[in-house]
Amino acid sequence: MNSIRFESQSLIPSKVVCIGRNYVDHAKELNNEVPTSPVIFLKPNSAVSDELHAGTRETLHYEGEIALLIINGKIAGVGFGLDLTNREIQNELKNKGLPWERAKAFDRAAVFSPFVPLADPVESLRLELEINGVRVQQGGYDLMIFKPLFLLDEIGQSFTLEDGDIIMTGTPKGVGSFEKGDHFKGSLFAGDKPLLTQEWVAL
């Protein structure tokens, strides 16, 4: 089973619960309707990775996201996540009204930095993503349609969140494709205070 790091602990997420279209500007960039209730999908443990791999056969898209680590039913930690997506397959599946797993839940489609304890108000969280030195995404709590505590409650109505499970809170605008060798730098902040920075070179 794959694990994530939280301080000195290694935790095994049973699942990653992802929120789609949680930023108005991103929903619009993909020509999606702005949802009236959260769009929820899952990635299994087998999708979890701390390495970033580019697609071998198809081009993958990155989505930088604030990732929340759940312990005892509460948000215990926060990390930088990349929700990797095979957009071409996703569009085919969406057009046919079919499930997205082949486009979203494949091996290494959920890439995470180590998690740090969340000591600051969740309202202060924001992210930035740079690729090859260019800032491509920024956003956070203020721009989310559905806020983390609401999501925790809403998800809990259908899915038991086990210790180590992760919520990916959706991506701001600026998603795009990437290739082997691209240099990613994901950062999380509480207001202006840096919480963590994680760098990956796409393999």
Binding-site ranges for Zn ion (CB under 5 A):
63, 83, 171
Q: Which of 63, 68, 175, 69 is nearest to 109 (CA)?
A: 63
Nearer to Zn ion, 6 or 23 (CB): 23
CB closer to Zn ion out of 85 and 121: 85
Return the number of the residue (63 or 130) whose C-beta is nearest Zn ion. 63
Cβ 149 to Zn ion shortest distance, Å: 19
Smaller CB separation from Zn ion, 63 or 165: 63
C-beta closer to Zn ion: residue 21 or 152: 21
Task: Give the other-Cβ count within 10 Å of 154's Cβ.
Answer: 15
Dihedrals phi, psi of 74, to nearest 5 degrees: -125, 165
CB-wise, 20 or 77, nearer to Zn ion? 20
Strand order in the sheet with 183-190: 134-140, 125-131, 183-190, 193-201
Q: How far is the CB of 8 from Zn ion (least distance, A)?
A: 29
Minimal distance, residue 17 CB to Zn ion, in Å:
11
Give the shortest CB-147-to-Zn ion separation in angstroms.
16
Q: Least distance to Zn ion from the beta carbon of 83, Å? A: 3
CB of 92 to Zn ion, least distance (A): 18
